[in-house]
Amino acid sequence: MMLILAIIVSYIIGSIPTAYIFGKLLKGLDIRQHGSGNVGATNVFRVLGKGPGICVLVLDILKGVLAVAFVGDLFGTTAVFHRILLAVGVVCGHNWTVFLQFKGGKGIATSLGVLIALAIKIAAIRIVLVVTLIIWLVCFLSTAFVSLSSIVAATLLPIVMVLTGQNFSLIMLGIVFCLFVVYRHRPNIQRLLSGKEPRVPLPFHKQK
């Protein structure tokens, strides 16, 4: 019963639509009707600017940390498998939020928060977190595509987990996150293939 309650709480935490809330509070707009239409930090950067974008990014990361680290401790669901279930719950909440007719973001920041929380609680995961961040950063600095960097990092996540000797349940979590990210980025993949995906204007990167 405590595990079920913890999963529900994690889902509700993940469901808090921070990008939507910031759009309404700051500009009185529905973020889903602007930019890419995504309820996530990247679209907030594009539509509302750097300040709100950073705030949404931090809050979305914090959702993953709170659900896996603190909700797990609060409800006594501290086994690795229990934290994995909380991780899936919070990312599902972000991706399919109950507050927006089950339409949400793409789960990248919240998934990062999950990895941070797991790294806090499980020392062996710290190398996975570091390597995954490096993969994302290298890809982003090379291409200036947030979406492509997220897809590449997520795709390699379960491979990194295997190579670093993580247990089976953590590897399965990596596979689930990989599938979530690829599924949620289907429109981005189409735009990448057609050459229509927008790049982040990095000062040292030539725009095409």
Instruction: Say what the pLDDT of residue 112 is.
Output: 97
Per-residue pLDDT of the chain (208 residues; tens, 9 = 90+): 899 999 999 999 999 999 999 999 999 999 999 988 889 998 999 899 999 999 999 999 999 999 999 999 999 999 999 999 999 999 999 999 999 999 899 999 999 999 999 999 999 999 999 999 999 999 999 999 999 999 999 999 999 999 999 999 999 999 999 999 999 999 999 999 999 998 888 776 665 5
Instruction: Say what the pLDDT of residue 185 is.
Output: 95
Instruction: Say what the pLDDT of residue 115 is.
Output: 97
Query: 131-165 burial string, b = 16+ CB within 10 Å, else e?
Result: bbeebbeebbeebbbbbbbbbbbbbbbbebbeeee
Instruction: Say what the pLDDT of residue 135 is.
Output: 98
3-state helix, strand, coil in the chain (%, to 5): 75, 0, 25
Which among 167, 39, 44 has a CA at the least distance from the CA of 104? 39
Would you state the torsion angle of the CA atoms of residues 157, 47, 94, 154, taken in this order, to the nearest 10 degrees? -10
pTM equals 0.92
CA end-to-end distance (rounded Å), the chain: 54
C-beta of residue 12 within 8 angstroms of C-beta of residue 59: no
**Which of the 8 DSSP states describes residue 77?**
-
